Homo-oligomer: A and B are copies of this chain.
Amino acid sequence: MRNMGGKDPPGQRKRATIAHVARQARVSNQTVSRVVNNNPSVAPQTRLRVQRAIARLEYRPNALARSLVRHRSHTLGVVASGLEYYGPSGTLVGIERQATALGYSIQLNLLNRPQLADVDHVLNSLLSRQVDGIIWAVPEIGSNRSWLGRKTLNPPVPIVLLSMHPADHLQVVSVDNRAGGRLATGHLLAQGYRRIGLITGPLDWWEARERRLGWEDSLRAAGLEANEVQVFEGDWSSLSGEAGFSQLARMFPEMDALFAQNDQMALGVLQAVLRQGRRVPDDLGVVGFDDIPESAFFWPPLTTVRQEIHELGGMAVKQVVSAIEATRSEAKPAMAGIHWLTPRLVVRQSSLRNPVALATGG
């Protein structure tokens, strides 16, 4: 049933197209297009007429049509997971901010089960929507990155990967987790702790393995042992931090300090210690990882390793955009390689055996 010259359906105003504007301003479509795209070669009066028509009709260019003909959507596909955690959501914020700054929109896909991602489905969905590039902000877990090795992959747009083991021909941006592990452990050693336990994230996570390597590095460099008995494998949750402390206190009773691979697990440790009537940092030094906003208000305030998570996301956007530009301008293909971000230590009371060293706690 047609709209017989009557009123528009309620609430739905038909959108003005370039043709409507052209008719109203008595110019060609192309001239309207010129005005919209700030092409200088339009006579002042013509330009004015067009601008008025645009305003009157509330004309809004259809970005879909433009993308279709320009083969460029100015949209980035972002695949992420674990937004309930501080790190991933902060990374996403960094991504969005930088993308907006560079004139790109974000098409967001979240993965519920990052360990067994249906990669093809997600990739196809993004590519069919003609994203110009993809940021894969899903942690490397088990073999969930194996698709990158597929011979048939050959993605038609640049992909930047966050937080994974460096590999040839891939563009990766990552926090240097191993250096972070060294920071945490080295600090505890410097405070005089010697029997340092470790609560890891799930060890099928690359980041957890890296942080453990950093812990080992520091202990070995100090001539100390780094044995299985000192390690508990958690799952990033506070509950597992609590369980980890209990087990380590049993299996490794001489423990005088503990490095938990994220702040949530460190929080679980703090609570378990308090409950036992022992004291942090006197009886046990504790260091976390992430520097979530709450950490400064734990009891005692938590020493932790801070990742510049916004910068991580921003860097990923810069990388993918420069790869896009390079591809479009027929320049040499974007350089692969890894871009490391260095974490830093934030010292608070949970690790300060001698309180002298306290800088600004945050």
Which residues of A are at the interface with B, using a C-beta cutoff of 8 A?
A: 9-13, 15, 60-65, 67-68, 73, 75, 78, 83-84, 86, 89-90, 92-93, 96-97, 100, 105-110, 112, 124-125, 127-130, 154, 156, 237-239, 241-242, 264, 267-268, 270-271, 274, 293-294, 296-299, 301, 327, 330, 333
Contact = CB atoms under 8 A, between A and B. Distances in A.
B84 A97 contact: no
Given A10-B333, A64-B129, A239-B297, 5 more contacts: A65-B68, A96-B110, A264-B297, A271-B301, A294-B294
Contacts of A293: 84, 237-238, 264
A11 B294 contact: no
Nearest to A330: B9
Contacts of A130: 62-64
Contacts of A100: 109-110
A297 B125 contact: no
* Most B C-beta atoms less than 10 A away, residue of A89, A271, A330: A89
A225 B264 CA distance: 39
A310 to B, nearest CB: 10
Contacts of A267: 294, 297
Contacts of A129: 63-64, 75, 105
